[in-house]
């Protein structure tokens, strides 16, 4: 499994990263603290060396207290801090059905200090602007990132859910190492950023690479998710959305059988083998799933196989959660 370079930095990671969000929220009650920490430690033993979290990833523990995802990640990585790349994000606060955005310089610095404390680290390897704040110009945000790199508080920076114009303007002030956008076989609307990523030497970190579990073939519109699980309301898990995905799921199933792999591994290998600057960051609370996902980095799809999938995707229409 060949490591991938993050942007133009001297940081290299394995081709599948660990999305840690689900340990604290999005899928019902937060995972038990000790269990979450032990699972993330075991993930490192499996080979994971790229851990992704965010300031706004908070959920509710069984006792009603707040589960801070950064604290879980920070506790998990202490014994091997120098062996992993840690990414976190600023600029977003969840407000029920919408996000409150603040990427003002003062807010960024306040967020950074909070993240450093919760993660219990001296510096953050990759610091993302979580969402574009329309009130703040990209040049201003990039200027703050340049200062933080100079101060040694962060090593590199990135932008999540970015568009090309914003990315180019920000990159001109302080080189962007990575973008983190939604990407999967049924959410391909950011593929127009591939050319600029290749041109500028920027890594594309893909979140929700299996469409919140749909492409694993393990769930359907009949699946009963726990109360508070975001998937209960996602369009791909409603009857119409699930039916639209059936043809793709059959393609995945057939190819998985031919490759002696799982559907999840094929959906990840599709993007890993498509571009050498793409790093998916699937997540799970189950160690068996984490091992399965990580091994997708050893599954090879040819250019012809990828093109065949893409040609079929062009003829399909999907209903999929796009986030907020």
Which residues are CB-neighbours of 180 under 8 A, at least 6 positions away? 52, 87, 89, 128, 158, 159, 160, 161, 205, 206, 207, 281
The structure tokens 């908070």 sit at 58
* Interaxial angle between packed helices 138-150 and 164-173, expressed in degrees from 0 to 180 and rounded to the nearest 10: 40
Chain centroid offset of residue 12 CA: 17
C-alpha atoms less than 13 angstroms from C-alpha of 192 in its C-beta half-sphere: 8
> How many C-beta atoms surround the C-beta of residue 216 within 10 A?
23
Q: Which residues are catalytic?
A: 57
Contact indicator for 190, 22 with CB cutoff of 8 Å: no
Contact indicator for 202, 277 with CB cutoff of 8 Å: yes
State how far the Cα of 139 lies from the Cα of 110, in Å rounded to an integer. 19
Which residues are CB-neighbours of 6 under 8 A, at least 6 positions away? 12, 13, 85, 126, 156, 177, 178, 203
Q: Is the dihedral of CA 137, 125, 4, 265 positive or negative?
A: negative
């Amino acid at each position: 499994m060949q490591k991938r370079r993050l942007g133009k930095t001297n940081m290299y990671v394995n081709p599948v990263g660990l999305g840690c969000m689900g340990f604290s929220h999005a899928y019902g009650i937060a995972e038990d603290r000790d269990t979450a920490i032990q699972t993330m430690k075991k993930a490192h033993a499996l080979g994971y060396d790229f851990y992704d979290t965010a300031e706004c990833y908070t959920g509710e523990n069984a006792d009603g207290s707040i589960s801070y995802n950064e604290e879980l990640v920070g506790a998990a990585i202490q014994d091997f801090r120098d062996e992993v790349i840690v990414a976190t994000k600023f600029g977003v606060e969840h407000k029920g059905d919408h996000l409150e955005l603040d990427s003002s310089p003062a807010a960024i610095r306040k967020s950074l200090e909070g993240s450093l404390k919760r993660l219990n680290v001296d510096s953050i390897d990759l610091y993302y602007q979580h969402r574009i704040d329309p009130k703040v110009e990209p040049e201003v945000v990039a200027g703050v990132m340049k200062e933080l790199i100079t101060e040694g508080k962060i090593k590199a920076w990135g932008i999540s859910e970015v568009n090309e114009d914003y990315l180019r303007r920000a990159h001109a002030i302080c080189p962007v190492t990575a973008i983190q956008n939604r990407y999967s076989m049924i959410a391909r609307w950011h593929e127009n950023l591939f050319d600029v990523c290749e041109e500028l030497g920027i890594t594309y970190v893909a979140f929700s690479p299996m469409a919140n579990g749909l492409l694993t073939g393990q769930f359907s519109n009949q699946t009963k998710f726990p109360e508070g699980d975001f998937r209960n309301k996602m369009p791909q898990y409603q009857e119409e959305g699930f039916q639209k995905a059936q043809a793709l799921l059959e393609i995945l199933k057939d190819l998985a059988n031919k490759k002696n792999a799982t559907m999840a591994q094929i959906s990840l290998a599709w993007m890993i083998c498509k571009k050498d600057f793409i790093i998916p960051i699937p997540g799970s609370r189950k160690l068996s799933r984490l091992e399965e996902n990580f091994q997708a980095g050893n599954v090879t799809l040819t250019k012809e196989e990828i093109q065949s999938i893409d040609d079929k995707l062009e003829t399909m229409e999907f209903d999929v959660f796009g986030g907020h």
